[in-house]
Amino acid sequence: MAEHIIELQNVTKYFDDNLVIDNVSFYVNRGEFITFLGPSGCGKTTTLRMIAGFDLPTSGKILLNGKDISLLPPNKRPVNTVFQRYALFPHLNVFENIAFGLKCKRVTNTYRNDKGEEYVRREKLTKKEIADKVKKALELVDLEGFEKRSISTLSGGQQQRIAIARAIVNEPEILLLDEPLGALDLKMRKEMQIELKEIHKRLGITFIYVTHDQEEALTMSDTIVVMSDGIVQQIGTPTSIYNEPANTFVADFIGESNIFNGKMVGARKVRFCGKDFPCVDDFEQNETVDVVVRPEDITMCAPEKGMLAGEVISVVFKGIHYEITVQVGKYEIVVSSTESRKEGEKIGLTVAPDGIHLMKPKYTTNLFDGVITKRNTVKFADGEFECDVTRLYPGSRLDDEDYLITADGQKLDLTDTEVRVEVLPEDITISDDAEAGGTTGHIISIIYKGDHYRLIVRTEEEEEDFVIPTDDLWNENDLVSVVIPKEKIRLSLKHTEEKKR
C-alpha cells in the first residue's frame, strides 16, 4: 500500500474567473492528522471539497492510493465528510441519519451452492448489521441510546457528534472535517478537540481537518498545511511551523510575532531596531531580510544590561503570562513574560541567537508589465500613471507634439510600447481619496513591523499586488488609492533585444 494516501499534483481551481487554488501540490501520509490552516478565503475549504469530490479541480490531479480520482463523483470515493454546519438530515432521526450511508452501501458476499461451487453476490447490509454498526458508532461518540431522537431535539454539541458518527460509521479511508467545531462555544470546542484526537487514535484512519484557528491546528495536528491566497505557504509539524516559520505571513498568522526589517551586517550577524544581533541563520552580507522574534523569546533585564533598552508602554494580563509592549526608540516590541512590569518602567531586552528567525523577504520591489499610452502615461495594474518616458531612452526629450526625440535625433511614437515598470515600496503612498492616485485596490494583508505597517494592496481587475510600507493604521479590505510620484516610476523597455534586431 502506498504511503501517501492522498496526493495533490499541481492542482489549480478557478471559480468563474477567480483563481482560488494556485498550483498546489502536497501529499498526506496514511493515518496522519493533517490540518489545512489559513485565514478565510485562503482556499483551504476548496481544497477539502476537491478531495471530497464536491468541487472538481480546473487542472491538476488528485491521487488516492496512487489512483487518479480527480473526476470521480463524491459517492464513489472512500471518503466521508463532517460538514461545517453538520448537514444532518432534518427529516430523519439519529438512527436513520447514521444509517444513511450504510443503507447505500453494497458488500460482496461469497456463497457456496449445492454443488459446492462458489459464487459472489453484491448485497445490501442486513438490518442487524446496520443496527450493530450504528450502535457502535454512537458508543464511539458517547451518545448511546440516542437512536430514536429527532435531530431538532439535539444540542449543538450532540449534533456535532452525530455528524461525526454518521461519517465514521462508513469506515472511510479518510475523514474530512470542515471547520467542524466552529459553531461550538469555547469550552465545548476544547472538549471536542480532545475527543476528536481520541477518535483519530482509536480508528487509525487519516483525518484531514480544516480550520482558521491556529491554536486548534497546533493542538490537534500531526502536520499543518498553512495556506493563504490559494497557495501553500508552509507544510510541517506544529513545532517546526511555530519555531521555523517559512515567511512573515506564517510568522504573523501562527502565534504572536515581532517582525522587523533587517540587514545582514556580517557572518551570522543581523542589524535591526538599530542594533546588531548575533543569529544562527546566515545570509549574504548586506542582504535585506525579514526578522521574526517571538514575544516569549525575548527576556527582560535591567536597562543597562540589555541589548536593547526601552520603556514599557502597556501591560496586558493574559492568564498565564503578561503581554508587555516596550517602546525601543521608534520601534514597538511585544514581550511575553510571567513577570509583570509597570507602565513607564525602563527595562532592557535581550534575545538569544536562536530566538531570532531570519527569512528572505518575499517582496523587495514592485514589478509590473505596463503599456505606454497616447498621452505618454503608463498603464499598469488597472490604472494609468504619469511617468517620465524620456527615461526609456537615455538623452532623449519630448518635442512640442509630445513625440519622443532620441539622443540621435530619431522621432518615436511610443503609443502601445510594452514596458517593465518598477516601483520601490517606500516610494508609494496610499490615500483614501479614490481619485488621488493612478489606481485603486483593496488592502489584503497588514503586517506590523515594529515601527511601521507593511500593506499589500491588490487591484480589482488584474489582481496586481502593491507592497507598501506605511506609518498609518489601515484596515484589511479598505479600498485605497495608490499614489506614485512621476519621477519614482522606473521604466525599462521590454524585449529590447528583439527590437534591436
Partner 1 sequence: MKIPRFSRKTLCIPYAVFLVFFVIIPMLVILFYAFTDKEMHLSFHNFIRFFSDPTKLSTIVYSLVIALITTVVCLLIAYPVAYILARSTLKRKFVILMLFVMPMWINFVLRVNALREIFNSLASAPGMEWLGSANYFKTVFGMVYDFLPFMILPLYTTMQKIDPSLYEASADLGGSGATSFFRVTLPLSMPGIMSGVTMVFLPSMTNYVVSDMLGNAKVTIIGKFIYEYFGSDWHMGSMVALILLIVVFLSTWFSGGFKSEENVRGANL
Strand 258-266 relative to strand 322-328, pairing: unpaired
Selection from 338, 381, 334 nearest residue 482 by Cα: 381
Long-range pairs for 335-343: beta carbons < 8 A, 24 or more residues apart: 335/295, 335/298, 335/300, 336/256, 336/295, 336/296, 337/296, 337/299, 337/300, 339/300, 340/315, 341/300, 341/312, 341/315, 342/312, 342/315, 343/312, 343/313, 343/314, 343/315
Please state the closest distance from residue 86 (CB atom) to partner 1, in A: 9
Of 95 and 474, which has the nearer Cβ to partner 1?
A: 95
Q: How far is the CB of 326 from partner 1 (least distance, A)?
A: 48
Q: Of 85 and 391, which has the nearer Cβ to partner 1?
A: 85
Residue type at position 328: V
The nearer residue to partner 1, 172 or 383, going by C-beta atoms, is 172
Nearer to partner 1, 90 or 395 (CB): 90
Nearer to partner 1, 85 or 452 (CB): 85
DSSP type of residue 150: B
Asked whether the beta carbons of 274 and 248 are under 8 A apart, the reply is: no
Find the shortest distance in angstroms from Cβ 7 to partner 1.
21
Cα 96 to chain centroid, rounded? 38
For residue 229 the three cell numbers come to 491566497
Q: Minimum Å distance from CB 441 to partner 1?
A: 25
The residues that touch partner 1, with contacts defined as CB under 8 A, are: 52-54, 73-75, 79-81, 83-85, 87-91, 100-101, 104-105, 166-167, 170
Cβ proximity to partner 1: between 89 and 111 the closer is 89
Give the pairing type, strands 33-37 and 206-211: parallel
CB of 106 to partner 1, least distance (A): 9
Q: How far is the CB of 26 from partner 1 (least distance, A)?
A: 22
* DSSP code, position 125: P
**Nearest distance in Å: CB 77, partner 1:** 8
Helices (H) and strands (E) in the chain, counts: 9, 35
- State the minimum distance, in angstroms, from the CB of residue 5 to partner 1: 17
Contact indicator for 131, 169 with CB cutoff of 8 Å = no
149 vs 346 by CB, closer to partner 1: 149
Q: What distances in angstroms separate CA 78 from CA 85, 107, 170, 453, one per listed residue?
A: 22, 14, 9, 47
* CA quadruple 167, 169, 172, 175: dihedral sign: positive
Q: Measured from the CB of residue 253, what is the shortest distance to partner 1 in angstroms?
A: 27
Q: Give the nearest distance from C-beta 99 to partner 1 in angstroms.
A: 10
Joined grid coordinates for residue 82: 463532517
Q: Which is nearer to partner 1, 79 or 356 (CB)?
A: 79
C-alpha 453/C-alpha 443 separation (Å) is: 12
C-alpha cell at 402: 509630445
Closest to partner 1 by CB, 73 or 266: 73
Using the minimum distance from each CB to partner 1, give the nearer residue, 83 or 403.
Answer: 83
Shorter beta-carbon distance to partner 1: residue 105 or 442:
105
Of the pair 166, 379, the CB lying nearest partner 1 is at: 166
User: Smallest distance, Å, CB 241 to partner 1?
Assistant: 29
Nearest-approach distance from CB 37 to partner 1, in angstroms: 22
**CB 289 within 8 Å of CB 362:** no
Q: What is the number of other CB atoms lying within 10 angstroms of the CB of residue 406?
A: 15
Return d(Cα 113, Cα 115) in angstroms, integer: 6
- In one-letter notation, the amino acid at residue 114 is D
Cα torsion angle, 388, 393, 395, 399, sign: negative
